[in-house]
Amino acid sequence: MATEEPSGAGFWKRIMPTTALGLAGALFCASIASAFTGAVLYAFYEYRLGQTEDRVDAFEAGFEDEVNAAVERIGTERDDAVGQVQNQLDDLEKFAASGETLQGLLEATAPSVWFVVTRDEAGQPSVGSAFVVFADAEQSFLLTSYNAVRANTQEPAPGITIRKGSEELPVTLTAWDPPNDLALLTVGRPSLPALRWAPTDPPAQVGDRVFVVSGLGASGGSISQGFVADASGNGIQHDSPVGAAFQGGPLLNSAGEVLAVASRAYSPLGFAPEAVFFGVPVRNACATVIRCPDDQSQPG
């Protein structure tokens, strides 16, 4: 009885070569197929490698530009941040001057600010401060408050001295302007340092911090501070305390430049100031008590 072979086994038996030559041919075909498959895979690998190299080349070509652009953006953002911080610091400086700031202003201006001592019409002590506006090789000239020295416009004059520490110098009242509460003193001390005047542009603004310096103090002077309440050609209204020893002293901006002459008597609006004082614009002196250049810049 014949045995029936499985259908799968018969199929393989029919297609498999039965001779050595057939086996050799089958192996040759398999080799050709393998070589072709390897060639296809290698070509695909080369293709993908080429794409990768192109992408790397493109990345390298644009990387330096991107880095430079990023560095530039970082620099711009840094500068913007620094500017914002500085603006905030400037705003803070308007509202609160530190002890270091006050001490720095006092040290910078002290050589130019002197304490004024005289007497009033009743023979009572009258005091104030004065600051150097210009000097030459023979003498120096100081602005002060007319209110402090007004008795010296009459005879007999009580005489005026200026003091700094233990040093005391006699001075001469050279010119005065009662409406503007200004007086000019001359001292026989050459080349005393003059304070810088603030430029007219930009003008003082409402809310600016201001400082009044006196020539009287344990460290060679004293200083008070306040805000600008109003500013016009008639005067700078401010709330910095102006005691008797401060009248005639310089009213300074934050840069240590003279904006006005501190006064307890100047009243451009016709009524006496109380907690808020009027500083006499320093250039008002050019019209009466000192001679300034045509552009009204600082004399000297």
The CATH number of whichever domain residue 276 belongs to comes to 2.40.10.120
What pairs with residue 143 in β-bridges?
Answer: 131, 184
Mean pLDDT of 58-71: 72
Residue with tokens 């711009």: 76
Which residue is associated with the tokens 């010119």? 175
Q: In which residue are the tokens 């809310």 written?
A: 207
| Residue 90 counted as domain residue | no
The tally of domains found in the chain comes to: 1
3-state DSSP call for residue 204?
coil
Whether 256 is covered by a domain: the verdict is: yes
Bridge pairing between strands 160-164 and 113-119: antiparallel
- pLDDT category at 88 given cuts 50, 70, 90 is low
pTM of the model: 0.68
> Which residue range forms the structural domain that includes residue 192?
102-287
Q: Is 10 part of any domain?
A: no
Residue 200 belongs to a domain:
yes
In terms of Cβ atoms closer than 10 Å to its own Cβ (0-12, 13-18, 19+), residue 151 is buried
For the cut 50, the answer to whether the pLDDT of residue 95 exceeds it is no
Q: Is the pLDDT of residue 82 over 90?
A: no
Q: Is residue 127 part of a domain?
A: yes
Closest CA to 150 of 259, 278, 263: 263
Within-domain flag for 6? no
| 266 vs 270, higher pLDDT | 266
Give residue 124's pLDDT: 96
- Selection from 204, 190, 300 nearest residue 252 by Cα: 204
In a domain, 267, yes or no: yes
**In a domain? residue 13:** no
Per-residue pLDDT averaged across 240-245, rounded? 95
pLDDT at 66: 73
